[in-house]
């Protein structure tokens, strides 16, 4: 936790240290104010067409089956040559960049363009040589075989 977030948390905790704790904690207006003042996975538009990266881009689903772990990442608008993957234990790093220019005036932008980087926590460790990645129709499907399928008994001395 970084210091700024910690200080924000301390300030919020002090606010609720009163005799009306329960009535204030459930006050919707203070919750709305807290969410508005903090950056919880939202994208801000600074100027038309200038979107900042969401911390959860690309959106990712993770599935665990009996034999493998499967990740599905939604990266529409990018080509596979513009995407890089790397893995270290239980951390998957995905990076990408596109610089598409579409002629005309941008009136509304909801899709993310440009450079992104995200670290995804994997449910189980993976080795780079065991990961398979396939890019098709804007979806990146990453899979690897599970290493720890069976529980093993550990004797206690």
Task: Please indicate, yes or no, whether the overall pTM of this predicted structure exceeds 0.85.
Answer: no
Q: Is residue 5 part of a domain?
A: yes
Instruction: Please check the confidence at residue 155 and state whether its pLDDT lies above 60.
Output: yes
φ, ψ of residue 153 to 5 degrees: the values are: -70, 135
Question: Are residues 67 and 143 both part of a single domain?
Answer: yes
Average pLDDT of the chain, as a whole number: 78
Instruction: Give first-to-last CA distance, the chain, whole Å.
Output: 38
Whether residue 138 sits in one domain with residue 74 = yes
Average pLDDT over residues 39-52: 42
Q: Which residue has the tokens 């596109």?
A: 98
Total tally of structural domains belonging to the chain: 2
Does 155 reside within a domain? no
Shared domain check, 34 and 58? no
pLDDT tens sequence across 59-95: 999 999 999 999 999 998 888 899 999 999 899 999 9
Is residue 154 in some structural domain? no
Q: What's the pLDDT band for 15 if we cut at 50, 70, 90?
A: low
pLDDT interval class at 33 (50, 70, 90): low
Residue 5 sits in which domain range? 1-38
Q: Does one domain contain both 93 and 142?
A: yes
Query: Would you give the DSSP letter of residue 144?
Result: E
Whether 157 maps to a domain, the answer reads: no
Query: Residue 122 sits in a domain of what CATH number?
Result: 2.60.40.790
Paired with 51 in beta bridges are 45
| Residue 93 within a domain | yes
Give the residue among 120, 118, 113, 74 at the shortest CA–CA distance from 97.
113
Kindly state the tokens that stand for 27. 């006050």
Query: In the structure, what pLDDT confidence band is assigned to residue 8 with cuts at 50, 70 and 90?
Result: confident
Q: State whether 33 and 5 are in the same domain.
A: yes
Shared domain check, 60 and 28: no
* pLDDT given for residue 151 in this prediction: 74
Residues 6+ apart with CB under 8 A from 8: 38
- Does residue 49 sit within a domain? no
Check residues 142 and 22 and name the one with the higher pLDDT: 142
- For residues 41 and 104, give the distance between their C-alpha atoms in angstroms, rounded to a whole number: 29
Clarify whether residues 19 and 89 are in a common domain.
no
When comparing pLDDT for 30 and 116, which is higher? 116
Residue 140 falls inside a structural domain: yes
pLDDT at 139: 94
My answer on whether 25 and 94 are in the same domain is no
């Amino acid at each position: 936790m970084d210091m700024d977030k910690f200080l924000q948390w301390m300030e919020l905790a002090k606010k609720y240290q009163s005799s009306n704790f329960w009535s204030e904690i459930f006050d919707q207006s203070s919750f709305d104010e807290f969410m508005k003042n903090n950056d919880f996975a939202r994208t801000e538009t600074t100027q038309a067409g200038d979107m900042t990266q969401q911390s959860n881009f690309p959106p990712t689903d993770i599935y665990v089956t009996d034999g493998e772990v499967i990740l599905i990442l939604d990266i529409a608008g990018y080509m596979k040559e513009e995407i890089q993957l790397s893995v270290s234990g239980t951390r998957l790093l995905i990076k990408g960049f596109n610089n598409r220019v579409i002629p005309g005036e941008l009136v509304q932008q909801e899709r993310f363009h440009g450079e992104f980087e995200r670290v995804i926590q994997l449910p189980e460790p993976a080795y780079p040589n065991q990961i398979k990645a396939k890019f098709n129709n804007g979806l990146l499907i990453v899979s690897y075989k599970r290493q720890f399928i069976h529980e093993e008994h550990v004797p206690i001395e």
